[in-house]
């Protein structure tokens, strides 16, 4: 009758030792975050005009998530997703339109230690795509993009912490390749060579 009880105790102790030993060196970080994205201009083409005009992407709140998967210390693979509900604002020739700008990227993040064991600095670079979608469902435009950023992470325990990031998002727009209507006879396209945005974010780290 004692064997099952001893077995439970043994399995419990083994699990605690294994789980504890695996943290934090080779642990996966999951970071849901809220942020503020700012900057950026895109081109619009209004029916009846000779050429494209430029409108500004309004600064607004963003939200998303980050997953860091260790490969070799101090580097990890980083998966990054962020969505920004925003408006396009410009002159009377370029009407205001509601759009969502979504960014999905993957890359590498490097952790730099500090004098405090709970505090670390981050440098990251990612590559992927940016999609701009009109809220009225009229269409979307997708372009390749990269992200470059730096951050800070503070772990309250081995499993829970907070992370702050400042990230530059650069979309290589080129010409053509999709459009999203923004109302009033206007269509949004990626004119010019580069759309640059910045994002400041704060998230909760769950480390497993």
Digit-coded pLDDT (tens) for 8-32: 453 444 444 444 444 445 799 999 9
Domain ranges of the chain: 23-207
Q: Which pLDDT score is estimated for 112?
A: 96
What pTM did the predictor assign? Answer: 0.78
23-207: which CATH topology?
A: Porin (2.40.160)
Q: Which stretches of the chain are assigned E, i.e. beta strand?
A: 29-38, 41-46, 53-57, 60-72, 75-89, 97-113, 119-134, 140-155, 160-172, 178-181, 186-189, 194-207
Burial of 174 (0-12, 13-18, 19+ CB in 10 A): middle
Is residue 115 classed as helix, strand or coil in its secondary structure?
Answer: coil
| Range scoring the smallest mean pLDDT among 89-98, 136-145, 155-164, 166-175 | 89-98
What tokens does 107 get?
Answer: 């890359």
Compute the C-alpha angle 121/126/128, nearest 5°.
155
| Alpha-carbon 139 to chain mean position | 22
């Amino acid at each position: 009758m004692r064997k099952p009880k001893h077995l439970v105790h043994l399995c419990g102790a083994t699990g605690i030792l294994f789980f504890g030993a695996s943290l934090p060196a080779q642990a996966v970080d999951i970071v849901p975050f809220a942020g503020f994205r700012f900057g950026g201009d895109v081109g619009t083409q209004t029916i009846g005009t000779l050429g494209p005009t430029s409108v500004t992407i309004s600064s607004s709140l963003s939200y998303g998530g980050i997953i860091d998967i260790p490969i070799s210390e101090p580097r990890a693979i980083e998966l990054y997703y962020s969505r920004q509900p925003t408006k396009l604002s410009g002159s009377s020739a370029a009407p205001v339109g509601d759009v969502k700008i979504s960014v999905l990227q993957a890359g590498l993040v490097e952790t730099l230690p500090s004098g405090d064991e709970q505090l670390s600095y981050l440098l990251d670079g990612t590559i992927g795509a940016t999609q701009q979608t009109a809220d009225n469902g009229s269409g979307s435009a997708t372009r390749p993009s990269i992200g470059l950023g730096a951050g800070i992470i503070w772990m309250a325990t081995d499993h829970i912490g907070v992370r702050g990031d400042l990230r530059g998002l650069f979309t290589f727009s080129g010409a053509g390749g999709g459009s999203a209507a923004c109302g009033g006879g206007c269509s949004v396209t990626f004119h010019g060579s580069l759309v640059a945005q910045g994002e400041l974010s704060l998230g909760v780290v769950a480390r497993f």
